[in-house]
Structure 1
Amino acid sequence: MAAVSAPPVDLIFLLSRAAHALQTEMTAALEQINATPRAYCVLGNARKGEYTQKELADLCALDKTTMVVTMDALEKDGLAERRSSPTDRRARIIAVTPAGEEVVERGEQIVSALYADVLGSLPEDQREALVGALQTLMNGRLAEPAECSATVRRPRSS
């Protein structure tokens, strides 16, 4: 029986470490505006339309409990508020306050600069190739998680 060789690269390790490093840098960068990546994601998506708390949780890949805690903090900080839906009295629409709008605008500048810096560390011909390859994977082969019996959790974000 022939020996099975190891894969040439540990793809999950590379992607996981890269994601963790970038998430950590983003967390540190957003601290200057007293925001977290999670809060920035919720606020940024909420200002694009009238979304319920559940819809925003789905857009930001947050579970129900995490979304509730995030919204509680955003309301406490005066950055967003829950409003009754005009079409479903059981649903709450998330509205971004003017202070929340300012956080998103400043956050966009911070995140854009961070992404430009990270991608700028690659040779020019690899930048678009990396982003394009990741988008292709996420829109195709990796668009939906595989069915499996074990629960696979997303890594916690800080």
Structure 2
Amino acid sequence: MTSPSPGRPSDLMFLLSWASHALRVEHAAGLAELGISPRGHCVLLRARIGGLTQRQIGELCGVDKTTMVVTLDQLEAAGLARRVPSPTDRRARFVEVTAEGERVLDQAQQIAGRLEQDVLAAMPETEREVFLRAIQRLVGGRLSGGGACGGSGSVC
């Protein structure tokens, strides 16, 4: 992608997709210096709160089971996280962030914070908070899950 060219000026799906892609690319480039991916960053961030299983973290990060296993294998190999058996369910594994993982996660959060500030600085200051509230409302409401596809009111 080199420049946006939506089908019409208000093509919401295109614009959100374009913005998401651009942010993912910049986020991945920033995290590369730490040796982690945006997915690894998400997993470490969710695991940091503690008490969550591998499956729960996968759901919070929007990662399928197979991808979650691969991601955790990478984080464990790098010494950033570890899987701990659940004392109550032999099939479940809790994910813990190691001390090195905490250090890397702190740096990743700084990188993400700088990226967010840089992106928002491209907007007039008066529009930033309005934009954030609006996108949070969409993601927390109408766009919080799978949408209307497959449901009784399917539009797909």
TM-score by length of 2: 0.87
1:32 matched to 2:45? The reply is no
How many angstroms apart in 1 are the aligned matches of 2:8 and 2:32? 39
1:85-104 mapped onto 2 (5 Å cutoff): 85-104=86-105
Q: For residues 40 and 132 of structure 1, do their structure 2 counterparts lie closer, same or farther at Cα, with a shift above 3 Å needed?
A: same
Alignment partner of 2:149 out of 147, 150, 155:
147
CA deviation after TM superposition for structure 1 residue 141, in Å = 1.9
Q: Which has the higher contact order (CA 8 A, sep 6+)?
A: 1
* Runs (5+) with no aligned partner, structure 2: 1-6
Q: How does 1:9-28 map to 2 (within 5 A)?
A: 9-28=10-29
State the 1:32 CA deviation. Answer: 1.4
Task: Say which SS state the counterpart of residue 93 (structure 1) adopts.
Answer: strand
SS in 2 for 1:147: coil
Q: 2:85, 2:140 → 1: CA distance?
A: 34
> How many residues in Structure 1 have an aligned counterpart in Structure 2?
146
CA shift, 1:146, in A, is 1.3
Q: Deviations over 1:29-51 (max 9, x none)?
A: 11111111000100011011211
In the TM superposition, 1:122-133 aligns within 5 A as 122-133=123-134
Q: Given that residues 44 and 101 in structure 2 are in contact (C-alpha distance below 8 angstroms), is that contact kept between their aligned partners in structure 1?
A: yes
Structure 1 segments, 4+ long, off by >6 Å, are: none
Which residue in 1 is equivalent to 2:55?
Answer: 54
Match of 2:66 in 1: 65
Work out the CA distance in 1 between the residues paired with 2:15 and 2:150. Answer: 22
In 2, the alpha carbon distance for the partners of 1:143 and 1:111 equals 22
Secondary structure of the equivalent of 2:49? coil
Query: RMSD value over aligned CA atoms?
Result: 1.9
Instruction: State, as a whole percentage, how many aligned pairs show the same letter.
Output: 49
Matched residues in 2 for 1:89 and 1:117: separation?
45
Aligned counterpart, 1:116: 117
TM-score (norm 1): 0.86
The answer as to whether partners of 2:83 and 2:94 remain within 8 angstroms in 1 is yes
**Other structure's SS at 1:90 match:** coil
Offset at 1:140?
1.9
Contact 2:50 2:95 in 1 (8 A): no
Q: Distance in 1 between matches of 2:90 and 2:139?
A: 35
Residue 33 of structure 1 aligns to a residue whose secondary structure is coil
Amino acid at match of 2:149: E
Provide the rounded CA distance (Å) in 2 between the counterparts of 1:16 and 1:57: 22
Q: Residue in 2 aligned with 1:156?
A: none
